Every structure is written in C-alpha cells, then in structure tokens.
Structure 1
Amino acid sequence: MLYKGLKNKLMCALGACILSSSVIAADFPSRDIRLIVPWAAGGGADGISRKISNIAEQGLPKSIYVENINGAVTATGLMQMTRARPDGQTIGVLTYDSVITLPRGKMVPGYSLDKMSLIARITKEADSIVVSKQSGFNSFEELIAAAKAKPNTVRIGVAPKGSGPYLAVHRLEKLTGVKFNVITYPGSSSAETEALLSGELDGAISSLGDFSGIIESGDAKGVIELSSEQNPSFPDVPPISTLGYQLETGSFILLAAPKGTPKDTIAIIENSFKKAYDSTEFQEWILKVGVTPSWLGSKDVQAWVDELQSSTFKEMDALGL
C-alpha cells in the first residue's frame, strides 16, 4: 500500500509537471519577446535580426524587440540570455564568434554553448576577398600570382586573431602556397573599408555584404568567395570551388534560447521565424543585402554546429592557431 501510494504521488507530480509545461506553452508568449543581439546596432547581424523578427512577430500575439548588448566578442549579451528564465521570453542571436572564437579561446569564464538550446540557423554568409581599385588587381588569380612573385608584399586586411577571416587567410596561404602581409583590424569591417579606400590595403577578407558600398561605387571589387556555392546577390564573383580549391569560411546567424526552455515553446518560436524566413518580403530583402538565406531547424542545427566546431578546431590545430 505504501509503495502504491508513493507511486500514485509520483505519477501525479509528473502529470502536474507535464500539465504545467503545456500551460506555459499555451500561454506563450505572455509578454513581448526580448531578442538579444550581442553586437552594436547598425551591423549586419543587427539588421538581419531586426528584419526577420519584425516579420515573425506578425504571427504572434506579442511583439519581439531587439536589445543590443555588445561586448566580450558576443559573450556579454549571450551570458545575459542564458541567465534569463527559460520560458522563451528571452532569446539570443549567435554568430561565428559565439560558436568558434569564444569556445576555442576559452576567453570568458562561464560562457558555454551547453547553457543554450539552439532554435535555428537563418543565414550563412561566406567570407570573400575584396581588392581595392588602387591595387590594380582584377582577379583572384592576379592576386595570388603577385603574392607568389613577391612574398609578404600583398597586404590583406582581416579581423583579429581567432576570427573567421583570420583563420581564412592562413588556410588560403596554405592552399595556394603564398605568403601575404596580413594586417589585423579590430571591430567591424568599416576599418578595413577605410584602409582599402586609402590604399593602405590591397585586399581584405570579410563578406561581400560588408563591402557592398565600395563595390557598388567601383572603389573595390569582389574577386572570390570562399565557398562552394554561387552567391545569387553577386553573380560576377565566383566561388573558390570553381578554381579547384575547397575552402568554405564565413559567418552565420543562429537563434538560441536558455537551456531548459520547454520544447513546445521552442517550437512556437521556431515556427514563427520559419514563416518569416519563407516570406517573400524576407527572401527578397536578404538577397538585396548580399547574404545567403540558409535555414536549419532545431532538429538539425545542433549537429551542424558540432561538426563545424570539430572541423574548424582541427584546422586551427594544424595551423598552430
């Protein structure tokens, strides 16, 4: 009798938990959803996050508002997200640095992807090589030929050590057998843009979207994308795979919630953003800004991140980075 009574109590408690979770999901969202973007306002990740969330909220009873919390290579904002109540009312945006740079360098105590539940991948944005008009280079082949002829003279700008572009330039050197004069620039690609315009750099590595302004003005030219897929927004810039090289680097935008967020709640968020992603408005807009839409849902995105980390860390080990 004692065992039976205890069993009944446990079953009731379990049922209450399930019911409670269902009630929470049914009431979600009970207030406006806070979307933490761990970069300053005005950047690419911020613009994409704002655009898709503005569309996603149209299918929800509450709004989604973006809060920019910059610092510690995205860790400041994302750690605030992971400390929030796991009810789906606070979610966050992850980029390359969130997934690769921070975990690799163990830069911020307490930061961990294990404290997050990944919801979806929204975009992939390949790195590219853009050359300045003043450099005289008109193609990737010309750039590589010059670097082979005179090692350490072709000036290439990238983000600091640990970043995607920093790793990309060293992988490119290994693949092509050249040696660039690599110059790092902290912060956004705006510093590299200024350096290209002033003649301080011959080329730079970042996304084509980051350099779209000076590409459109004719002050710079995209010569290659470090990808195996053609970017539909820049049909004149070939992927590096067409030249026989296998090199894919770049950033992306992921959505995540605090670990422990109910699956039903995750599903509501995911469905809302997937509808926004599929909308004509978002698809037309994202191509205009030069970014490739690339959806992966909650069932697949964690495996993709695990594989990305594994392969990238192996490359870093091989290069001694």
Structure 2
Amino acid sequence: MSNLTMTRRILAGLVLGLPLTLGAQAQDYPSKDLVHIMPWSAGGGTDTVMRTFMNFAEQQLGVGINTQNITGAQSGIGTLRLMKARPDGYTIGSLTWDSLITVPYYELVPGYSTEELAYLGSVTVHPTALVVSADSPWKTLQEFIDAAKAAPGELSISNVGSGGVWHLPALDFANEAGIEVQHIPYPDGSGPQREALLSGETDAASLSVSAAYPAIEAGQARVLAVMGDERDEAAPDVPTFKELGYDVVWGGFRVIAAPAGIAPEHSQRLQEAFAAVFEMPEFQARAEETGMGAVWMDGEATAAYLETAQERAFALMDNLVEQGLLEK
C-alpha cells in the first residue's frame, strides 16, 4: 500500500469519526448540575416563574438546576456575572427587560455588553398591568385617573427601578392621561413592590399580571387595565388601555441566555429541553394556574424579538428624555 493511499484512508477515517465524536459529546452533556443565575430577589414574579420553569427543565435534562439570586443595578450585576461565566454550558441565566434594555441604555454597569450573551429561548411575554389593592377605592382605570387629577402629585405608582420596564409604562400612561403621580422604585424586584402595594405604602403598581397573580388569586389585589394590544389571557375580563382610549402599549418578557461562546451542540441541547417543557401537560397546567404568560421562542427567534424590542424601547425612551419626563 502506498503512503498516499494510507494517508487518504487515515484522513477519511478521521472525517467519518468526527460526527461520532461530537455526537458522543452531545449525548454526554449535561453530566452535572447547571447553575441558573437569577438577577432579581427571591420571591418576586420573575424568580417564582423561572424557578417553576427550571424545575420542569430538570426533568428534561436529567440533572439539577441550582438557582442563585444575584441582585443589584436593576438586574445588571447578576447579568454581568452571567456574561463573564465560562461558556461551558453549565451556567445559564434568566433575563428581563431591565437586563437587556434599561441597564445598557443607562450604562448602569461597566463592562456590560449584550453581545456577550447567547439566547436560548423565551419563557414568558406579557403586557404591563396597573394593579391596585382590593381595598382601594378605585374599581376602574378612569376612577384612578379622576382621583389623580383631583389631587395632583399625591397618588403613587410603584415600579422596580427608575427608567425600567415598569417605570416607563407608568410614565407613558401618566403622560397620555394628563395626570401627575409619584413614581416609587423598588429595585429589589416585584416581591417588595407587591408587599408595598398590599401594605398601603403605594397606591398602585405597574407590573405584570403574573407578578401580581398571587395577590390577585388571594383576593388582595385587582387589575384596572393592561397595556397590551389584546386582553391578557390570564385576566380576560380586564380591559386594555387602548379599549379605554389610552394608546399605551407596553410589555415585558423573561428569556434564558448563556454566555456567548457556548458550544452549538450544548446550546441546541438546552433549547430542545426548554422547548420540550412547553409540551408537558403539567407545565401547561401550571402556566394557566399562575397566569405566567408562557410563550416559547427558540434562541434565534428570541434574538430577533429582543433586537426589535430594544430599538422600539430606545426610541420611546429618547422621546421621553426630550420631553423632560425621563432623565438619562
């Protein structure tokens, strides 16, 4: 056998063996528990929803997913930790509007770049809601507006951070309705925000229906209106702001990401597992019970969705800055 023939056979064997090696690596992954970075406080809406999702994802992956709450800078500290983690497929994180829009817009965290993220999929997409406590005097959005007009600057609406996902909708709403209200931030998340509403510390809260769902289900709070193009499936009897004559459409999302540089086969394995969660009857039942607004998009679709959301949000934020309604 000539040396040339021998070389060709060796090269052919290497080429044919390569997919088998990659396939074996993919089958071996994951071989240990994953770390799930949660950049919001324990007990809040995002923490509760994403812990629930990760519990189901554990069943699909066959390993544990250990959640770590790393808060601060409107989710920027935890998200930066995710960006800087080893891209070995064993660190993932849950991200929200603030992580991908507020923090980069205001440059809240040095060394922060969304280019350092690889998106794995979405879990929820939902409209902003205006929520009041059950014992408040306002039964409708118009009643709240009338009260605000009667006492300019006295009523308060809470959010989870100035310039963030829930603050901006409240600003836009106040501008559209011609009212002056106080905007009170609770940067540790929707858990403290919800408690402030129920204790009477604030008059209303700008947040998602899913974040308010425990209080709504317990009869402690009610939704006056939602900022979607259509009514929220979790609150079908609640009108949209548009129905009531206020052209205010805002919403949030919860997505999963990994550090940029994650191996394609690891990304694919995770996306397949996360997509499979949405096919589980137990998850669908849980999603309906909690009103989490479950919506699945794969990594590519999520990236396109977020690019559009960021462009739209930045334009609206620039407009609010020009009007003097928002500081940058």
TM exceeding 0.5: yes
State the match for 2:252 in structure 1. Answer: 251
Counterpart Cα distance in 2 of 1:220 and 1:63: 35
State the match for 1:106 in structure 2. Answer: 107
State the match for 2:38 in structure 1. Answer: 37
The secondary structure found in structure 1 opposite 2:170 is helix
Show the 5 A alignment for 1:147-296: 147-296=148-297
TM-score (norm 1): 0.86
The secondary structure found in structure 2 opposite 1:131 is strand
Counterpart Cα distance in 2 of 1:55 and 1:33: 14
1:80 aligns with 2:97: no
State the match for 1:316 in structure 2. Answer: 317
How far did 1:213 drift?
A: 4.2
Residue type of the partner of 1:58?
Answer: Q
How far did 1:151 drift?
A: 3.0
State the match for 1:3 in structure 2. Answer: none
1:158/1:166 contact within 8 Å kept = yes
The secondary structure found in structure 1 opposite 2:269 is helix
Relative to 1, partners in 2 of residues 1:83 and 1:183: Cα closer, same or farther, differing over 3 Å?
closer
Task: Return structure 1 stretches of 4+ with deviation > 6 angstroms.
Answer: 14-20
RMSD: 2.7
Counterpart Cα distance in 2 of 1:260 and 1:118: 11
The secondary structure found in structure 1 opposite 2:257 is strand
1:126 aligns with 2:127: yes
TM-score (norm 2): 0.84
Residue type of the partner of 1:281?
Answer: E
How far did 1:75 drift?
A: 2.8
The secondary structure found in structure 2 opposite 1:72 is coil
State the match for 2:63 in structure 1. Answer: 62
Counterpart Cα distance in 2 of 1:18 and 1:174: 58
Structure 1 unaligned blocks of 5 or more: 1-7
Counterpart Cα distance in 2 of 1:18 and 1:314: 46
The secondary structure found in structure 1 opposite 2:303 is helix
Counterpart Cα distance in 2 of 1:26 and 1:69: 31
Structure 2 unaligned blocks of 5 or more: 1-7
Counterpart Cα distance in 2 of 1:53 and 1:131: 30
How far did 1:155 drift?
A: 2.8
Relative to 1, partners in 2 of residues 1:91 and 1:185: Cα closer, same or farther, differing over 3 Å?
closer
The secondary structure found in structure 2 opposite 1:237 is coil
Counterpart Cα distance in 1 of 2:215 and 2:113: 37
The secondary structure found in structure 2 opposite 1:172 is helix
Counterpart Cα distance in 1 of 2:90 and 2:193: 37
1:215/1:221 contact within 8 Å kept = yes
Counterpart Cα distance in 1 of 2:190 and 2:127: 14
Identical residues among aligned pairs (%): 35
Range moving further from structure 2, 39-48 or 164-173: 39-48
Counterpart Cα distance in 1 of 2:67 and 2:158: 31
1:119/1:270 contact within 8 Å kept = yes
1:91/1:258 contact within 8 Å kept = yes
How far did 1:90 drift?
A: 1.5
Relative to 1, partners in 2 of residues 1:288 and 1:153: Cα closer, same or farther, differing over 3 Å?
same
Residue type of the partner of 2:287?
Answer: I
